[in-house]
Chain A
Amino acid sequence: MNQQATTGQAFRATLKRDLIIAYKRKNDLVNPFMFFLIVATLFPIGISPGPDRLGEIAAGVLWISALLASLLAMDNLYRSDYEDGSLEQLLLSPHPLYFLVLAKNISHWLVSGLPVVLVSPLIAYMLNLPDAAYAALFITLLLGTPVLSLLGSIGVALTVGLGSRGLILAVITLPLSVPVLIAGTLTVQETLNGASLGGYLAIMGAMLLAALTLAPLASSAALRISVN
């Protein structure tokens, strides 16, 4: 009577479930976004409101704010599932854990990463980013923030079973994120210096593809260890 669900169906069901949960817990939806806005607006106040000065640091400010916002949202990724036992059900699925973890990571990025990417041109305008760099900034964030989510997922999966996490998540995740940060800001900088975008974007695209193929495997293995 009932058919076995395909991996695609399990993937979609997991993605949909996580999006519904995020929609119902409005905090998860709004917090990273607000955090990004606040951090980005503090820089002009703290450093200098001078347009030239701001223009120079704008790309770095936006990238660091995006990185911190993604880190802030990370902890939610598996914690409630771990606490209520849903994670065990996920691990007991006959489908490859890779796809289910990937679904959770995609949902997480849609909720915490995408809004930040979409609002970034506005903040860039506020920070007086030179016109020539807008496209580069937007595209690098679009390629880079999913990498941050995917890498962060490994850290969360490793620490989800620990009682007091504190800074350990940041200690694990931030070193992994540094190459993405460097590539992202460098791309924007070099575009301003007149370099062509192609090569740099290829590097970021390669990072994204590598993270997409490898990070969920690492997260899956880490989840199995944490539940053990």
Chain B
Amino acid sequence: MVAVETESGLAETSRLTMLNGESLFCERDDRVLFENLDFSLREGQVLQIKGSNGSGKTTLLRILCGLNDSYEGKIFWYGDPIEEKVEQYYSSLIYIGHRVGVNKVLTPVENLRWSCSLQQQVADEEIYAALAKVGLRGFEESQCFTLSAGQQQRVSLAKLLLSHAKLWVLDEPFTTLDASGVKQLEGWLRDHADKGGAVMVTTHHSLSVTDLQMLDLG
């Protein structure tokens, strides 16, 4: 049921394993989503999670982020059980889910100011620069309910540019983006991985990155 295949096996042995899971098991409504699932994610790697609708992709990501604890098995962050390193883990993690975490009453700047400040100090100039990069120049002070779904997604993606988190966990980040947005985001994923970060992403889109690993949930 679970197939893991690496597409490039060059000299990654020097890179540390950032996150790995051992014999993960999750069951929902008496239906087994996955069992005996092992995976490991090295620095510089992009792990793409594939699977049909309802195969547990989102559930797996939420489990890894600690938002869901109805699972069995073990998850390790740089070799240590994740429960022992929660603070360190959460300082290094960005999660963008289906619900992107953008408050509709606030402006993009106010949203980012808050969500970034939960992890690190960010100056306003950096926020404006990041918003310009995601194509929201001129929308900085508009309330988010006036923005389209794709633009709201872009607000949340601007966080990727502002944060120094090593691990990006993205749940279907491409769905509401237009063609140029998809290309841009793909570029960011590549850059992030090349700089030694790691990405976990669920998408049906075929990614072009250096070190891509697939995890198929069936």
Which residues of chain B have C-beta atoms less than 8 A from A131's C-beta? none
Question: Taking the complex as formed, is A14 at the interface, i.e. its CB lies under 8 A from any CB of chain B?
Answer: yes
**Considering the complex, which residues of chain B in the window 38-53 have a beta carbon less than 8 Å from any beta carbon of chain A?**
none
Instruction: For the complex formed, measure the closest distance between the CB of B155 and the CB atoms of chain A, giving whole angstroms.
Output: 11
CB–CB B103/A93 < 8 A:
no
Residues in chain A near residue B101, CB distance under 8 A? 84-86, 88-89
Asked if A93 meets B114 with Cβ closer than 8 Å, knowing A85-B101, A86-B103, the reply is no
Give B contacts to A, CB under 8 Å: 65-70, 86-88, 90-91, 93, 95, 97-106, 110, 113-115, 117-122, 143, 164
Q: A221 vs B100: C-alpha distance in the bound complex, in angstroms?
A: 22
Return A23 CB to nearest CB of chain B, in Å.
9
**Which residues of the partner chain B approach A91 to less than 8 Å between Cβ atoms?**
66-67
Q: Does A20 interact with chain B (Cβ within 8 Å)?
A: yes
**Total interface residues on A, using CB and 8 Å?**
32
Is residue A203 within 8 Å, beta carbon to beta carbon, of the partner chain?
no
Q: Which of B98, B103, B143 has the most CB of A within 10 A?
A: B103
Instruction: Please give, as numbers and ranges, the residues of chain B lying within 8 Å of A83 by CB-CB distance.
Output: 99
Nearest chain-A residue to B123 (Cβ)? A2
Q: In chain A between 127 and 176, which residues have their CB closer than 8 angstroms to a CB of chain B?
A: none
Do B65 and A10 have beta carbons less than 8 Å apart?
A: no
A5-44 interface (Cβ within 8 A of B) = 5, 9-10, 13-14, 16-17, 20-21, 24-25
Are B117 and A24 in contact, with the CB atoms below 8 A?
no
User: Is there an interface contact between A85 and B118, defined as CB atoms closer than 8 Å?
Assistant: no
Residue of B nearest to A80 (CB): B103
Residues of A with C-beta under 8 A to B110: 17, 20
**Contact of A228 (CB < 8 Å), options: B67, B100, B120:** B67
A2 touches B164 (CB 8 A): yes
> 3 shortest A-B CB distances, which residue pairs?
A85-B99, A13-B117, A85-B101
Known: A3-B120, A86-B115, A94-B90. A21 touches B67 (CB 8 A): no
Task: From known contacts A84-B102, A85-B99, infer whether A9 and B121 are also in contact, taking CB-CB under 8 Å.
Answer: yes
Chain A 61-93 interface residues, beta-carbon cutoff 8 Å to B = 80-81, 83-86, 88-93
Q: Are B118 and A13 in contact (CB under 8 A)?
A: yes
Contact of A85 among B100, B117, B119 (CB under 8 A): B100
Contact A24 B69, beta carbon cutoff 8 Å:
no
**Among A3, A20, A89, A93, which residue has the most Cβ atoms of chain B within 10 A?**
A89
Chain B residues with CB under 8 A of A21: 103, 105-106
User: A residues within 8 A CB of B121?
Assistant: 2-5, 9
